[in-house]
Amino acid sequence: MLSEKLDKALNKQIQIEAESSQVYLSMASWAETKGLEGIATFMYAQSDEERMHMLKLVKFVNERGGHAKVSALKAPKLEFGTFQKMFVELLEHEIFVSKSINDLVHITLEEKDYATHNFLQWYVAEQIEEEALARTILDKINLIGNDKGGLYLFDRDVQQITANSAANDMLE
């Protein structure tokens, strides 16, 4: 059985994951309107992944005797300036989500809820991967600078990350 404090904190994380999905969906739509098909495909996949993170939390909360709540979401921004700025925002957002997960893990220790602590370790590992991927992408963006040919190759490479990720998910 979840404590009231943990139920509330997990519901806050459910909202964060749902809003993350919306943020990445907005980024995907923006990229698609700019002709950046690879980046759009990548961001659509990120949006789907965040929604799955949310659903995993919803099911966990309900299975543990809590009540997962579906709440209103903040509308994400619609414009990102440049794809470089968009990926900086993506990294900043992943750092925010990591902090939120870490705060949640801290609460599980305070509440001595080791089942929830164990469940959240998957999210801790996932956030390490998400931040590393965002940093790798930013490193590639910094390498190409303003080179249009580099942008074309980058857009294609980012789409390949999505394809490789999907293939890996099917193997797990």
Identity of residue 20: S
Going from N- to C-terminal start, the domains of the chain cover 4-171
With a pLDDT cut of 70, the percent of the chain lying above it is 94
pLDDT at residue number 155 = 82
pLDDT for residue 148: 75
Task: Kindly tell me if the per-residue pLDDT of 9 is higher than 90.
Answer: yes
The mean pLDDT value of the chain amounts to 91
Its pTM stands at 0.90
Task: Give the C-alpha distances (Å, rounded to integers) separating 167 from 65, 153, 160.
Answer: 35, 21, 10
| Residues in binding site | 17, 50, 53, 94, 127
Interval 72-119: pLDDT, tens:
999 999 999 999 999 999 999 999 999 999 999 999 999 999 999 999
- Main-chain phi, psi angles of 145, to 5 degrees: 55, -125
Compute CA distances 140 → 84, 97, 112, 157, whole Å: 10, 23, 42, 10
Cα 13 to Cα 7, 8, 72, 92, 97, distances in angstroms: 10, 9, 13, 17, 9
Question: Could you report the per-residue pLDDT of 110-139, keeping only the tens digit for each?
Answer: 999 999 999 999 999 999 999 999 999 999
pLDDT for the residue 146: 77
Q: Which CATH class is domain 4-171?
A: mainly alpha
Angle at 70 between CA 68 and CA 75, to 5 degrees: 140
List residues forming the annotated binding site for Fe cation.
17, 50, 53, 94, 127
153 has pLDDT over 70 = yes
The pLDDT > 90 percentage for the chain reads 78
pLDDT for the residue numbered 163: 54
Residue 166 is predicted with a pLDDT of 46
Per-residue pLDDT at 149: 77
